[in-house]
Structure 1
Amino acid sequence: MVFSFDKLVGIHEQALSIRTKRNELLASNLANVDTPGYKARDIDFKAALSEANSNQQGAFMKKTHARHLSNGMPGLPNAELLYREPSQPSLDGNTVDAQVEQAEFGENALRYQASLHFLDRRFKGIISALRGE
């Protein structure tokens, strides 16, 4: 019997990668809460996961010219970087709302842990099956 690693982990591998990048963006936003003119950035997780899933199935986007610009997110070749709209714009042009960023960071971290837990249970199930338990 042959096991396919891709079938074993499903979309959780891409989900963890996207959530890691999103955590980096949210942490950067929080680190720049007092930086004048800083624009809060984020990614649309659902769109990025959908695109990563379609890329896994062979629909890769390719640069056709060396001077084409990338989106600046090396781990996510085609994820669109979004700028958050401020609920209360500041006088210095900074769009980071610390409370919003902390809430988003917490939710993203919780969902990251859920994906890790799912993968852990999946691997433990495979190990049990291989041992004949």
Structure 2
Amino acid sequence: MFDDVSSSSLRVAVAGLSARQSAIANNIANIETPGYRARKVEFEEALRGAVAKGMSPLGVAPQTRSSLEPTRLNGNNVNLDEETLSHIDTTMRYQLTLRAMDTKYSMLRDAIKGA
């Protein structure tokens, strides 16, 4: 009942977005650290592919990679503007995903109660 494609996809999305929020926080915290490379978290393409192929989304895990953006003289490549926009986007997606989960489970509760 809780392992259907939509529930599984929502759980994977929450985990991926949470990992992205952590990476963004680390990037911002290390904005002045010499040699620090910004981290990027990717999972959407793998999630989309798993669902399209009829595979379980639960096999998808967020992948973290170092940014290939150019570096400043100190070797750091964190861009505060980019991180701020990414934080806003990720927060909105996270809230939307949680709202979708809440709606799904509310419908399930109503069905169980017979409402």
TM class by shorter-chain length? 0.7 to 0.9
Question: Quick one: which amino acid aligns to residue 33 of structure 1?
Answer: I
Question: Quick one: which amino acid aligns to residue 86 of structure 1?
Answer: E
Q: What is the rounded CA distance, in whole Å, between the counterparts of 1:16 and 1:113 in structure 2? A: 9
Q: 2:56: which partner in 1? A: 57
Q: What is the rounded CA distance, in whole Å, between the counterparts of 1:43 and 1:112 in structure 2? A: 14
Question: Quick one: which amino acid aligns to residue 56 of structure 2?
Answer: Q
| Contact residue 48 and residue 80 of structure 1 kept, 8 A | no
Residues 1:25 and 2:7 aligned together: no
Q: 1:13: which partner in 2? A: 11
User: How many residues end up aligned between the 2 structures?
Assistant: 112
- Considering only aligned residues, what root-mean-square deviation do their CA atoms show, in Å? 2.6
- Which consecutive residues of structure 1, in runs of 5 or more, have no partner in the other structure? 61-75
Instruction: Map residues 36-115 of structure 1 onto 2, 5 A cutoff.
Output: 36-50=34-48, 57=56, 76=61, 79-86=62-69, 89-115=71-97
Question: Quick one: which amino acid aligns to residue 109 of structure 1?
Answer: T
Question: Quick one: which amino acid aligns to residue 5 of structure 1?
Answer: F
Distance 1:30 1:52, change over 3 A: farther
Question: Quick one: which amino acid aligns to residue 92 of structure 1?
Answer: N
Give the % identical residues. Answer: 27
Q: What is the rounded CA distance, in whole Å, between the counterparts of 2:89 and 2:26 in structure 1? A: 16
From the two aligned structures, give the one with the greater helix fraction.
2
Per the alignment, in what secondary structure is the counterpart of residue 82 of structure 1? strand
Give me the TM-score of the superposition, normalised by structure 2: 0.81
Q: 2:102: which partner in 1? A: 120
Per the alignment, in what secondary structure is the counterpart of residue 65 of structure 2? strand
Per the alignment, in what secondary structure is the counterpart of residue 86 of structure 1? coil
Q: What is the rounded CA distance, in whole Å, between the counterparts of 2:46 and 2:17 in structure 1? A: 10
Give me the TM-score of the superposition, normalised by structure 1: 0.71
